[in-house]
A and B are shown apart, each in its own frame.
Chain A
Amino acid sequence: MDQTQTVEGRGSEKLPHDLVIVGAGPAALSAALYTSREDIETLLFEKGAIGGLAAVTDWVDNYPGFEKGISGLELSEQMRKQAERFGAKIELGEVQKIEDQGKLKKLTTTEGDIYAKTVLIATGSEYKKIGVSGEDEYYARGVHYCATCDGAFFRDKKLVVIGGGNSAAQESIFLTKFASHIDMLVRSSLKASDVLIKELVKHKDKITIHLNTTTDAIVGQDGKVTKVIGTDKNSGQKVEFPTDGVFVFVGLLPNTKFTEDSGVELDERGFIKTDIHLMTRVAGIFCAGDVRSGATLQIASATGEGATAALMIREYLETQERGPLPQPVVGHPQLY
């Protein structure tokens, strides 16, 4: 018997969950807040950090309601508490498979099989690997993807940050708390916001930005990273950056592996397609946040999508229970 059924008393075929949310990032927690508040019994499954990528972001300046900004970890914690206040339950575990059985959805999880009337996929994305030699070999031993987790290991050390978007800029600024110097390797031009670019400039004593510079290899010796080899695209010359560690922020990869064979449709980049009601091709399976095709990859828009999905799920559940409302008949408005 799986733990979820025992603890919650829900999740069996006879007594399925009203809603299982896969993930516990901003979209998921926002949806859970709305559904729980309306007495839709809601269980979230999270295999990583509650708050998702928002939780590993050092500082969030563009989420409304926080004049001075807020740490990603604190924002995530507030969202979690708010959702739990209305009864949302968060289970630590991984959803491995979703099977559409018509009115019920069967979820295979690390905690056992559970059933739900509706599912919201809000698994977000994770940072992409860059795909160069040395990256896997030195993973977590000099090659890192989470500055707030691993930055403290590089006190007074030299670092290379790879990437030129908002995450690379934000995390480079965070890493100046520890590193003696940072070389930021940007394949083309900076894609970060103007505000972050200004912040980078303020840290020019510690951060050197190398535009039009590819990353070709991460090299080490005696089990530790020693340098990054790249190419200056302007001159075509090889360039070397001696370093003690590398942080990679080169884009996002959607977390959708578990949706294989579920019937959910993905776009050409692997993000989940939905209709305007945020429902996937499978009736009763919804999607919101960074994992959704067309998402704008902002915390604020993710929470908005979560709220929208919750309202659509409520409507879906009501329709399932009462059947569809009769359609208005033109010319006979008095009937309704």
Chain B
Amino acid sequence: MPKNITIFTTSTCSYCPMVKRYLKTKGLPYNEVNLEDHPERQDEVFKASGAMTVPITIVTKQDNTQEVVIGFNLQKLAPAIA
């Protein structure tokens, strides 16, 4: 089980609820950061992912390594949270 999962979202993004829904089906807790409420964190997202998009999911594993998943991409998200 990952140590921490943070999802960066906006309120108009339709793929963001999909990531949240998927994590819920897997029983995994997550933190959500809405970039409309926290525009100051956009640079952090860009530095971590190299992308100006949401959702961005940062999975911190037990050994503190991180995986960054851009968008709702099950082929990357599923192994990242395994």
Binding site for B on A (CB under 8 A): 46-51, 55-56, 58, 71-73, 76, 92-94, 110, 140-142, 144, 146, 148-155, 223, 245
Contact = CB atoms under 8 A, between A and B. Distances in A.
Contact of A48 (B18, B21, B52, B78): B18
Given A76-B14, A140-B53, A245-B52, 14 more contacts: A50-B18, A55-B14, A56-B15, A72-B14, A73-B14, A92-B74, A140-B71, A141-B50, A148-B12, A149-B12, A151-B12, A153-B35, A153-B52, A155-B39
Contact of A142 (B15, B17, B52): B52
B52 A92 contact: no
Contacts of A58: 12
A47 B19 CA distance: 11
A140 B14 contact: no
Interface of B: 10, 12-18, 21-22, 25, 35-36, 39, 42, 50-54, 70-72, 74-75, 78
A47 B74 contact: yes
B54 A150 contact: yes
19 contacts: A49-B14, A55-B14, A56-B14, A56-B15, A72-B14, A73-B12, A92-B21, A92-B74, A93-B74, A94-B75, A140-B51, A140-B71, A148-B14, A149-B12, A149-B53, A149-B54, A150-B54, A152-B54, A155-B39
Nearest to B75: A110
A154 B53 CA distance: 10
B57 to A, nearest CB: 14
B67 to A, nearest CB: 17
Nearest to B51: A140
A49 B18 contact: yes
Contacts of B35: 152-153
B15 A49 contact: yes
A183 to B, nearest CB: 18
Nearest to A47: B74
What are the 4 tightest A-B residue pairs by CB atom distance, in nearest-first order? A55-B14, A153-B52, A148-B12, A140-B51
Given A149-B10, A152-B36, A144 B74 contact: no
A117 B51 CA distance: 42
A332 B70 CA distance: 67
Contacts of A150: 52-54
Question: Most chain-B CB neighbours within 10 Å: which of A92, A149, A154?
Answer: A149
Nearest to B72: A48
A72 B18 CA distance: 15
Nearest to A153: B52
A94 B54 CA distance: 20
Contacts of A47: 74
Nearest to A54: B14
Contact of B13 (A48, A94, A149): A149
Contacts of A149: 10, 12-16, 53-54
A267 to B, nearest CB: 28
Contacts of A93: 74
Nearest to A77: B17
A244 B12 CA distance: 21
A55 B21 CA distance: 15
A55 B18 CA distance: 11
Given A150-B54, A245-B52, A92 B18 contact: yes
Contacts of A50: 14, 17-18
A46 B14 CA distance: 13
Contacts of B39: 152, 155
Contacts of B12: 58, 71, 73, 148-149, 151-152
